[in-house]
Structure 1
Amino acid sequence: MQLEADELAGAVARLKRAQGQIGGILRMIEEGRDCADVVTQLAAVSSAIDRAGFAIIATGLQHCLAEADADERERTLAQMEKLFLSLA
């Protein structure tokens, strides 16, 4: 299933922020910052990436339910469920 870029703008913005956070984490490690601070930032990035993935899946589900015929809908729902479980 193809999704339009404008449908995923929120997920793209979240991933760009996560990209910036990862750069910050690398600098923290290079500077020898406290382990707890680094891990806290890693957890935040991980959560942001997960939320972006769930947003993409939710958009795909909406797209699937709105536009697919019955056979295609069933196949796409199975794909989306598999993708959702891969993030869980």
Structure 2
Amino acid sequence: MCAEHHHGHSYAPQRDDLLRRLKRVEGQVRGVQKMIEEDRYCVDILVQIAAIKSAVHKVGLSVLESHTRGCVADALMNASDGEEKIDELMEVIRQFTKS
């Protein structure tokens, strides 16, 4: 179920979970903003930023897995644009794994 398909995205079954996680991240970011406004201790702020980074990374991994098992697998099985999808996947993995 790629963007090109009218059926929806491969992450669609996880949509509610992904949105719930992202809303939690949004709350964490607001919490860090408040911590900075309140001149909280640096280490406490950094710990929260690390938690945010980890949470966003997990959301990304979930979408990446859905894309691989959905769009990429579909392209490979149907021999439509498998090579193109693999190239696209490798590029997004390169971007995703940059520090």
Q: How many residues align?
A: 88
Matched, 1:7 2:13: yes
Tell me which moved more, 48-57 or 33-42. 48-57
Aligned-CA RMSD value:
1.8
Q: Which 5+ residue runs of structure 2 have no aligned equivalent?
A: 4-8
Alignment of 1:1-88 (within 5 A): 1-2=2-3, 3=9, 6-9=12-15, 10-68=17-75, 69-88=78-97
1:25/1:38 contact within 8 Å kept: yes
Sequence identity, in percent?
28
Q: d(CA) in 2 for partners of 1:39 and 1:13?
A: 23
Where relative contact order (Cα < 8 A, 6+ residues apart) is larger, the structure is 1
4+ residue runs over 4 A deviation: none
Q: Which 5+ residue runs of structure 1 have no aligned equivalent?
A: none
- TM-score calculated relative to the size of structure 1: 0.85
